[in-house]
Amino acid sequence: MRYILLALAPGLAFAATPLAAKKPVPPAVVTGPPVNCILVQNIRNTRVIDDRTIDFQMRGRQVYRNNLPASCPQLGFQQVFSYELSIPQLCSVDIITVLIQGGGMMQGARCGLGKFTPIEPPARK
């Protein structure tokens, strides 16, 4: 499965994943302590798992799992979100906006990110 991260404008990005049948994701094996920020230029793909969980695949096969502190309505269903940045890092203090598809993109819930926990890359099936 391929995921896309597109830059729309300076400081604005859009992450999309294909709408596929939901499969249970095995628990992640944590490989280090959580970090507050990741460099946006190193994000290769994103994978929305559910309304509270996003995996960020980085260059070099590193994967960071972000467990949002609260459920983000429609994130797991839409699997598309955007964010605005003032620095080239995505941090635990940043807010994502769910994008609702259908007749054009509309903005949905705005939700805070959590810390980024390094995990072993999930097995591909």
pLDDT score of 10:
39
Is the model more confident about 16 or about 40?
A: 40
Round to whole Å and give the CA distance between 5 and 24: 23
Q: In percent, how much of the chain has pLDDT > 90?
A: 69
Split into its structural domains, the chain has a count of 1
**6: Cβ–Cβ under 8 A, 6 or more apart, which residues?**
13, 14, 15, 16
pLDDT score of 24:
63
- What is the domain extent for residue 44? 4-18+32-119
CB-neighbour burial class of residue 22 (10 A; exposed 0-12, middle 13-18, buried 19+): exposed
